[in-house]
Amino acid sequence: FTRALYRALLRLPPALEDVDALDAQFAASLRWLQSARCVSSLELTFAVSERLADGRVLERELKPGGRDVAVTERNKKEYLERVVRWRVERGVAEQTEWLVRGFHEVV
């Protein structure tokens, strides 16, 4: 089992360390962003691009209306939390939820 799955079983939110196991380079970028002071100059929004297996690129909003919400110093922590959750749960959120429910029924 991965650290992210253990955290899910305990109903804890994903952490940046969980991203390390999936994509160390992406995690390093998030750590840089965490310490950066010029976030607004990056023109980030609460949306991410995701490449599908067939080559198409989809934009996923990290929260409702996210493509129109700029990332600032004030909301940077929320942005990082949502990006971490998206990266860890990408493509497996529903399956993980069913596994967690089954685990809690047994325990």
CA 99, CA 105: separation in Å to the nearest integer?
Answer: 10
pLDDT at 95: 63
Reduced to 3 states, what is the DSSP secondary structure of residue 69?
coil
Reduced to 3 states, what is the DSSP secondary structure of residue 60?
strand
- What percent of the chain shows pLDDT beyond 70? 86
Please give the residue that has the higher pLDDT: either 19 or 105: 19
How do residues 63-96 score in pLDDT, each as one tens digit? 999 999 999 999 999 999 999 999 988 755 556 5
The pair of structure tokens assigned to 95 is 């399956």
> Helix 76-89 and helix 24-35: axis angle, to 10°?
170
Reduced to 3 states, what is the DSSP secondary structure of residue 99?
helix
How do residues 7-22 score in pLDDT, each as one tens digit? 777 778 888 998 888 8
Q: Which domains does the chain carry?
A: 3-106 (3.30.2160.10)
CA 54, CA 46: separation in Å to the nearest integer?
Answer: 24
How do residues 28-63 score in pLDDT, each as one tens digit? 999 999 999 989 999 999 999 988 889 999 999 999
pLDDT at 21: 84
Reduced to 3 states, what is the DSSP secondary structure of residue 57?
strand
Helix (H) or strand (E) holding 48: strand 47-51
pLDDT confidence tier of residue 102, bands split at 50, 70 and 90: confident
Reduced to 3 states, what is the DSSP secondary structure of residue 37?
coil
